Copies of this chain bind each other. A is one copy, B any other.
Amino acid sequence: MSSPAEPRIIFTPSGRRGRVPRGTTVLEAARMVGADLASLCGGRGICGRCQMTPVFGTFAKHGISVGPEALSEWSETESAYRRRRGLEPDRRLGCMAKVCGDLLVDVPPESQTHRQVVRKDVDVGKLRLDPVTTLHYVITPPSTLEEAAGDAQRLLRALAEQWGLTEVGVRAEMLGTLQEALREGRGKVTAAVRDGREVVAVWPGFSEVVLGVAVDVGSTTIAGHLADLTTGEILASEGLMNPQVRLGEDLMSRVSYAALNEDGGARLTSLVREAVNELCAGLVESAGAAPESVLEMVVVGNPIMHHLFLGLDVRPLGEAPFTLATDGPVEVSASRVGVDLADAARVYLLPCIAGHVGADAAGMILAERPYESEEITLLCDIGTNAEIVLGNSERLLAASSPTGPALEGAQISSGQRAAPGAIERVRIDPDTLEPRIRVIGIDPWSDEPGFSALEAETQVTGICGSGIIEALSELAAAGVITADGLIDGRAAERSRRVVETGRTFSYILWDQGSEVHVTQNDVRAVQLAKAALLAGARLLMDHLGTDHVDRIRLAGAFGSHLSASHSMALGLIPEISQEGASSAGNAAGTGALMTLLSGECRREIEQITERVEKIETAIEPRFQEHFVEAMSFPGARRSRDGEGRVNQRRSRRGTSRRTRERRR
């Protein structure tokens, strides 16, 4: 059978096709027709990233017939690769197999440069792997007396000739490493190229490891992922406490610390940097990797963490007009911010949106992509300040609302962080007013077998944010708390758990060993917090001109653990159908990971944040109105007074539908 001089080649799943000269390798053919076939070693049978599967048979649709003779014979290099690293029986190396006749080639996902990253543990959705830093193995010809050229110039020529990278330069800081790598590798080196513009690392010989770290610097915890930038694989995930906590529990107290103490800001900066450095070291160690392999880092955080990490003055963020040093994306060398990674490692910080709406909110927006749908989405990241984003493909609005520390368990009589011993779930029988609780670290509910034994070990130590939300919501539903937030003394007649304490009443949630009460002050603190959050959301709804939202996503450590139904019953968030509200997990961290794995995501969020309209709650008179209104507990069982007024207001908003808690 004679074969044409220029056989046809078709790549799936991309569908790219064309005619290529006989004898062209499949890798070259992929480049010629614009199909996506990976390679780190530049077609030398080393990296195995160009694996593909020839598909044999007659394909009427394409008008071709593919037989075994369509590819060159199995090569020595392929045998060597199979012995060394294994190769599935139907696979060939694209850089070795040559086109000899019409051909259909299937490119498996892991051989695609811009492959989709889909993972369960961190929901990055369908992400095209497109890291800012890429690896390129090159053979650099030696300099000779006859044709002398500098190391840098020879490397750049090799990158241009062997990889088509014509716009690259070499940082001066890299030259020493380059000298050494060329000598050790005898001209064979792997170069890491950033943005297609700059050689940022060079290793002798073939190397396929380039890693990145994505870190979410929260005011309480700092969490990060270590990822392989050539595969998108997450190699390790860890978290640690933000050591700044000892200088101030909440954000504003840290700003005060910076303002009132000489070098206070510097001290906060070195604390957070040390913690981030420790986190990175831990991630690298967990994965058994080398810090020098980590070339990329992404950081998200609220504006105060963002500024402290960068060593910037946070005092302007403590007072109106809350001026950021920059609201754009920031890039800085890792060493400059005290993180020990590769010499040339760069840290990318996502843009901040406003003085109270930080890079973490940008990360949340990217992770949730409300701008891709016509549905109106409300995103809330709840902490001392709630960062609230509302909108859809047409408009996006953002605000922050001063929720205060109550929702994180602070300023609550028995409040504590979400840690073992904290009550995190509460159900109260509306008739007997007897509670059932669930405690972090103890699997069964308090009325289930085994609880007592486990509680004896762990012991109930307090109540965390999600617990207090549920407790209040349940107490309101049971008629113990009135619509305007009073613990109704009349409930004391129904249960020994409602007790008078001075001029107000408390509810005894737990009294076996330790005591956890819900006091009138606790109710007031939560009332202020939830009113701030809801008022913020309503203000954005006003600005968007809508009286409903289609979807609510609760992000952050607190938000993710929140029961959506209790939150709505309490009036923490606008009421929508129960399915519409869900947890977004650590959306900020997910957004960080996305920008670590994809340069396209960086450009996307940079453009999106420029479009976000900032609403400043502090200067909006309507915020105060909404706030006052949002003080009420919509889920409160009818009680004689207060009821009418509240319902009247709420019906004006057209959101009088109640969502009843489905009992477990």
Interface size on A, residues (CB 8 A): 45
Q: Which of A123-180 touch B at CB < 8 Å?
A: 142-146, 148-153, 170, 172-173, 175-176, 178-180
Instruction: Determine how close the nearest CB of chain B comes to the CB of A281; give it in whole angstroms.
Output: 23
Select A322's contact among B148, B172, B183, B616, beta carbons within 8 Å: B148
When distances are taken between beta carbons in the complex, the residues of chain B under 8 Å from A75 are none
Say yes or no: B322 contacts A175, CB within 8 Å.
no
Say yes or no: A320 contacts B145, CB within 8 Å.
yes
Query: With A145-B321, A145-B618, A616-B148 as given contacts, are A328 and B173 in contact (CB-CB < 8 Å)?
Result: no
**Residue of A179, A310, A313 with highest tally of chain B CB at under 10 A:** A179
Q: Which residue of B lies closest to A329 (CB)?
A: B172
Bound CA span A328–B355, Å: 44
Select A616's contact among B146, B312, B327, B616, beta carbons within 8 Å: B146
Instruction: Determine how close the nearest CB of chain B comes to the CB of A382; give it in whole angstroms.
Output: 22
When distances are taken between beta carbons in the complex, the residues of chain B under 8 Å from A618 are 145
Instruction: Determine how close the nearest CB of chain B comes to the CB of A321; give it in whole angstroms.
Output: 5
Say yes or no: B180 contacts A332, CB within 8 Å.
no
When distances are taken between beta carbons in the complex, the residues of chain B under 8 Å from A330 are 172, 175
When distances are taken between beta carbons in the complex, the residues of chain B under 8 Å from A313 are 176, 179-180
Whether a CB of chain B sits under 8 angstroms from the CB of A331 is yes
When distances are taken between beta carbons in the complex, the residues of chain B under 8 Å from A355 are 148
**Residue of A148, A170, A336 with highest tally of chain B CB at under 10 A:** A148
When distances are taken between beta carbons in the complex, the residues of chain B under 8 Å from A146 are 616, 619
Instruction: Determine how close the nearest CB of chain B comes to the CB of A195; give it in whole angstroms.
Output: 14
Say yes or no: B323 contacts A148, CB within 8 Å.
yes
Query: Which chain A residues have a beta carbon within 8 Å of chain B's beta carbons?
Result: 142-146, 148-153, 170, 172-173, 175-176, 178-180, 183, 310-313, 316, 320-328, 330-332, 336, 352, 354-355, 614, 616, 618-619
Select A176's contact among B149, B152, B170, B311, beta carbons within 8 Å: B311
Q: What 8 A-B pairs come out closest when comparing CB atoms?
A: A152-B326, A150-B327, A172-B332, A150-B324, A150-B326, A143-B323, A175-B325, A145-B321
Say yes or no: B145 contacts A325, CB within 8 Å.
no
Instruction: Determine how close the nearest CB of chain B comes to the CB of A223; give it in whole angstroms.
Output: 23
A-B contact pairs, 25 of them (CB 8 A): A142-B323, A144-B321, A145-B616, A145-B619, A148-B321, A148-B322, A148-B324, A148-B354, A148-B355, A148-B614, A149-B327, A150-B323, A150-B325, A150-B326, A150-B328, A152-B326, A153-B328, A172-B310, A172-B331, A172-B336, A173-B332, A173-B336, A175-B326, A176-B325, A179-B313
Bound CA span A152–B331, Å: 14
Q: Which residue of B lies closest to A269 (CB)?
A: B176
When distances are taken between beta carbons in the complex, the residues of chain B under 8 Å from A311 are 176
When distances are taken between beta carbons in the complex, the residues of chain B under 8 Å from A320 are 145
Q: Assembly of this chain: how many copies?
A: 2
Query: With A175-B310, A354-B148 as given contacts, are A143 and B321 in contact (CB-CB < 8 Å)?
Result: yes
When distances are taken between beta carbons in the complex, the residues of chain B under 8 Å from A153 are 326-328
Q: Which residue of B lies closest to A171 (CB)?
A: B332
**Residue of A142, A312, A316, A323 with highest tally of chain B CB at under 10 A:** A323
Q: Which residue of B lies closest to A180 (CB)?
A: B313
Instruction: Determine how close the nearest CB of chain B comes to the CB of A236; give it in whole angstroms.
Output: 27
Instruction: Determine how close the nearest CB of chain B comes to the CB of A438; give it in whole angstroms.
Output: 43
Bound CA span A502–B169, Å: 61
**Residue of A172, A332, A355, A616 with highest tally of chain B CB at under 10 A:** A172
Say yes or no: A328 contacts B175, CB within 8 Å.
no
Instruction: Determine how close the nearest CB of chain B comes to the CB of A467; give it in whole angstroms.
Output: 36
When distances are taken between beta carbons in the complex, the residues of chain B under 8 Å from A616 are 145-146, 148
When distances are taken between beta carbons in the complex, the residues of chain B under 8 Å from A149 are 327
Say yes or no: B178 contacts A325, CB within 8 Å.
yes
Q: A152-B325, A172-B310 are in contact. List 14 more A-B contacts (CB 8 A).
A: A142-B321, A143-B321, A145-B619, A146-B616, A148-B321, A148-B323, A148-B355, A151-B325, A152-B326, A152-B328, A153-B328, A170-B326, A172-B330, A176-B311
When distances are taken between beta carbons in the complex, the residues of chain B under 8 Å from A326 are 150-153, 170, 175
Query: With A152-B328, A326-B152 as given contacts, are A312 and B176 in contact (CB-CB < 8 Å)?
Result: yes
Say yes or no: A179 contacts B327, CB within 8 Å.
no
Q: Which residue of B lies closest to A355 (CB)?
A: B148
Bound CA span A558–B321, Å: 65
**Residue of A152, A324, A336, A616 with highest tally of chain B CB at under 10 A:** A324
Q: Which residue of B lies closest to A324 (CB)?
A: B150
Q: Which residue of B lies closest to A336 (CB)?
A: B173
Q: Which residue of B lies closest to A617 (CB)?
A: B145
When distances are taken between beta carbons in the complex, the residues of chain B under 8 Å from A144 are 321
Bound CA span A330–B153, Å: 12
Say yes or no: B172 contacts A324, CB within 8 Å.
no
Q: Which residue of B lies closest to A172 (CB)?
A: B332
Say yes or no: A324 contacts B145, CB within 8 Å.
no
When distances are taken between beta carbons in the complex, the residues of chain B under 8 Å from A328 are 150, 152-153
Bound CA span A336–B313, Å: 25
Bound CA span A87–B392, Å: 62
Select A316's contact among B179, B316, B331, B354, beta carbons within 8 Å: B179
When distances are taken between beta carbons in the complex, the residues of chain B under 8 Å from A619 are 145-146
Bound CA span A614–B145, Å: 10
Say yes or no: B179 contacts A325, CB within 8 Å.
yes
When distances are taken between beta carbons in the complex, the residues of chain B under 8 Å from A614 are 148
Bound CA span A143–B319, Å: 12
Bound CA span A332–B173, Å: 7
When distances are taken between beta carbons in the complex, the residues of chain B under 8 Å from A150 are 323-328, 352
Q: Which residue of B lies closest to A619 (CB)?
A: B145
